[in-house]
């Protein structure tokens, strides 16, 4: 096929390395991803960190000294120096049997991830995680401003995408940085993609992969939108998405997807 599908490494490369850690992002870069995808939480001292969960996750993290993690501990309740004492690399996520633990890997600051990728040309797909409990994150406007400050510090503001299920942060970023690509995430599959993207002021619709059809992709493209589904990890799903004409794929196993695409494109 003439058109190349871009590959986003979901949480770095969760299938083979501890998610949202520097080893995961390093491995994804070596594998040749186009985009590093990550989630953000915010500490008590307003440090942006790569974490999918607003609380410490006992499935993938150990506390200081190897102690079990209290799942009630919110990242927003800790200063970064406190959070840095947690080990989120020693435990293999049981959902990913091929994942290789990296003992001692920490929850990294966004600054560390951006510094890692800045010289490589890789893009960054950054998700603002905003749970229903407002105490767990800064307001959407503040969250967006912190992200913009970070990407500017590392000179990658023209290689950053902001994505979210909470469209308030996308609309806030649109005011701050009109040039930045915005991605409206969709985990419901009930609303028209063009309407969703317009409500978010986004140029990218990012649905769960099983919502994708050829007709929906064609309608999105006709409206000038890109379609970037998440998170298919098997070749039969990649093949269906390729045939539907998506623009990129977010996957936990980017290394395998890259190898597969070389065979079929």
pLDDT, tens digit (0-9, with 9 covering 90-100), for 39-54: 999 999 999 999 999 9
Closest CA to 124 of 104, 148, 96: 148
Superfamily of domain 6-55+107-264: Phosphatidylinositol (PI) phosphodiesterase (3.20.20.190)
Structure tokens at 22: 């520097």
Asked if residue 229 lies in contact with residue 206, where contact means CB atoms within 8 angstroms, the answer is: yes
The mean per-residue pLDDT over the stretch 150-179 comes to 98
The mean per-residue pLDDT over the stretch 16-29 comes to 98
pLDDT over 60 (residue 182): yes
Q: In the prediction, which pLDDT does 265 show?
A: 77
pLDDT, tens digit (0-9, with 9 covering 90-100), for 126-143: 999 999 999 999 999 999
Asked if residue 218 lies in contact with residue 211, where contact means CB atoms within 8 angstroms, the answer is: no
Work out the mean pLDDT of the chain and round it to a whole number: 97
* Alpha carbon 248 to its chain's center: 13
The mean per-residue pLDDT over the stretch 237-259 comes to 98
Percentage of the chain modeled with pLDDT above 90: 98
pLDDT, tens digit (0-9, with 9 covering 90-100), for 75-113: 999 999 999 999 999 999 999 999 999 999 999 999 999
pLDDT over 50 (residue 60): yes
Q: What is the pTM of this model?
A: 0.97
Q: In the prediction, which pLDDT does 1 show?
A: 39
């Amino acid at each position: 096929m003439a058109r190349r599908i871009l590959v986003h490494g979901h949480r770095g490369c969760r299938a083979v390395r501890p998610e949202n850690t520097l080893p995961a992002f390093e491995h994804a870069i070596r594998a040749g991803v186009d985009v590093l995808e990550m989630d953000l939480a915010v500490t008590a001292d307003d440090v942006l960190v790569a974490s999918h969960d607003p609380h410490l996750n006992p499935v993938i993290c150990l506390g200081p000294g190897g102690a079990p993690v209290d799942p009630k501990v919110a990242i927003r309740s800790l200063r970064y120096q406190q959070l840095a004492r947690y080990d989120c690399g020693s435990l293999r996520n049981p959902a990913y049997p091929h994942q290789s633990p990296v003992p001692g890997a920490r929850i990294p600051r966004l600054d560390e991830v951006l510094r890692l990728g800045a010289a490589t040309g890789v893009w960054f797909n950054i998700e603002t995680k905003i749970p229903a409990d407002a105490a767990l994150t800064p307001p959407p406007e503040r969250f967006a401003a912190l992200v913009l400050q970070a990407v500017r510090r590392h000179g990658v503001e023209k290689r950053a995408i902001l994505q979210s299920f909470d469209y308030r942060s996308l609309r806030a970023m649109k005011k701050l940085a009109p040039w930045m690509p915005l991605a409206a995430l969709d985990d419901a599959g009930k609303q028209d993609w063009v309407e969703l993207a317009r409500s978010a002021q986004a140029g990218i619709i990012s649905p769960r992969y099983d919502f994708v059809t050829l007709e929906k992709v064609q309608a999105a493209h006709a409206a000038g939108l890109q379609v970037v589904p998440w998170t298919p990890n098997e070749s039969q799903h990649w093949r269906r998405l390729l045939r539907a004409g998506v623009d990129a794929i977010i996957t936990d196993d980017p290394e395998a997807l890259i190898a597969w695409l070389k065979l079929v494109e």
